[in-house]
Structure 1
Amino acid sequence: MKSKFKLVIGGIAGVVLLGGAVGVGAISNSGDKTGKAVSAQQELISKEEAKNIASKETKGTVENIELDEEDGRMEYDVDLHNEKDDDIDVEINAVNGKVLKVDYDRDDRDDDNDSEASADVKITKEQAIKIAQKEQKGTITEIELDDGHYEVEIHDGNKETEMKIDGNTGKVLEKDTETDDD
């Protein structure tokens, strides 16, 4: 009877010790709020370095800078403004300083006169129309060049399709079709 009692007490003690060890391991490996281990964090470039990189990339004046996590990596999101009245968003890898993305917001330009904006793309409006019509039947009701891509609306009966076409490659980036249920 004493050996069974010792065996049960020994088993309980083992479970308690094992549970404690697992708990200590979990606490020591806990990381930041993203769940990544703290030890895996890398040294980040400074905000000042990110501002300099963005300013050189776009020749704009920095208005705001934020550090965010995007797709599992740390990035600086830098908002700038230039003398052409463009609002520019530059995304920079916060570890190595590489420019990941540059977006220009050109809302002040006339949508009917794409000559200035089209200098930034290789695909003409007419080519974008052909690409859209090849992808989807219907009547094109709207086409607009915005931030290096064409936004196209096509109507076919009770279906409306919105498409985004890359202004340099002609690749369809997004396609969304909705049906009117009237």
Structure 2
Amino acid sequence: MIKKGFLLALFAIGVFANIFAQDTLSFKKTRDKNIYIEFLGASNLIGVSFDSRFTPISPWGYRIGISYFQGGDSFIKASNSNRGLFFPIEVNFLTSGNKHKLELGLGSNLGIYNEHISFIEESKEQYETISSTSNTTFGYYFFSNIGYRYISTKGFLFRIGLSPSFSFNDKHGITKEPFIYPYISFGYSF
């Protein structure tokens, strides 16, 4: 089911790219390199990414970055805390336009994360940790981006959109249900 969703997402990106693409010869030489800070989305919590076009006139480009994640659950019987560094890698497409662009992308987020689980027991109206485990491992998941990108003539960059994510839950796939994260980014285009 998830594999069909992945193929459907690839197909949708191709369809949108063809619908919104304009003649690449009319794609003006614009600022084709970007650096930005992203909150949520593929960066999980916060991250910094570099984004560039494959050629100065191409609507197709790539993104590489580094991001940090921290989160967890707290229950009466167990407490779970996760944190790690992730590296989003993405291929993306921008529609032609001077300042306002539709952004479509598909990528993978590779990371090293630590999961710490503490089992808790109640005694005399206090909670005490009776055992804990910690595991550091490599993991990945896939994501896509569907959003709006604004690049001012002076280089200010603004991005906002949605980032659906999913995993095949294989040996190194991060176990997660498909989920749609919002994202917002601020940066500089040069």
Common fold: TM-score over 0.5: no
More RCO (CA 8 Å, sep 6+): 2
TM score, norm. by length of structure 2: 0.30
Larger Rg: 1
TM score, norm. by length of structure 1: 0.31
Greater percentage in helix: 1
Greater percentage in strand: 2
